[in-house]
A = this chain, B = another copy of it.
């Protein structure tokens, strides 16, 4: 059987033991534990650790980025909130494709409009 301790896993994956604990701490890769609480790295975890490094290097990401992507995937409410904001790209009404999306947008705007926007000063508009 191939079950490695944290130091062994560190050597084969290129991460430091410290980082292996950190990666677990931020929720990315949780190694199962032995009865005494030792982390046990099996092939699955090792594979994951290697591909994680690839992902970070090739895409120039940080661990925090991947951790956030994981949160987005796990927390429905969070993903919904972020997606809702991102989907409402700031286009002028003319540019907006009419239809369901527009209605939904308007409803959202109405819902969120708590403080009115008093028009203040005028300016040459491009």
Which residues of A are at the interface with B, using a C-beta cutoff of 8 A?
Answer: 1-5, 8, 12, 29-30, 32-35, 38, 40, 42-48, 50-52, 54-55, 58-59, 61, 64-66, 68-70, 72-73, 78, 81-83, 85-86, 88, 90-92, 109, 112-113, 115, 117-126
Once the chains bind, are B90 and A48 in contact (CB under 8 Å)?
yes
Known interface pairs A1-B122, A65-B82; 17 further A-B residue pairs with C-beta atoms within 8 A, sorted by A's residue number: A1-B119, A2-B120, A3-B125, A4-B120, A12-B118, A29-B90, A30-B90, A34-B126, A44-B91, A46-B117, A51-B88, A59-B78, A65-B68, A68-B69, A69-B82, A69-B86, A72-B72
User: Using Cβ atoms and an 8 Å threshold, which residues of chain B touch A32?
Assistant: 126
Contact for A81 among B59, B86, B92, CB less than 8 A: B59
What's the nearest-Cβ distance from chain B to residue A126, in Å?
Answer: 5
User: Using Cβ atoms and an 8 Å threshold, which residues of chain B touch A33?
Assistant: 126
In the bound assembly, the distance between CA atoms of A99 and B6 in angstroms comes to: 32
Which residue of chain B is the closest to A92 with respect to CB atoms?
B44
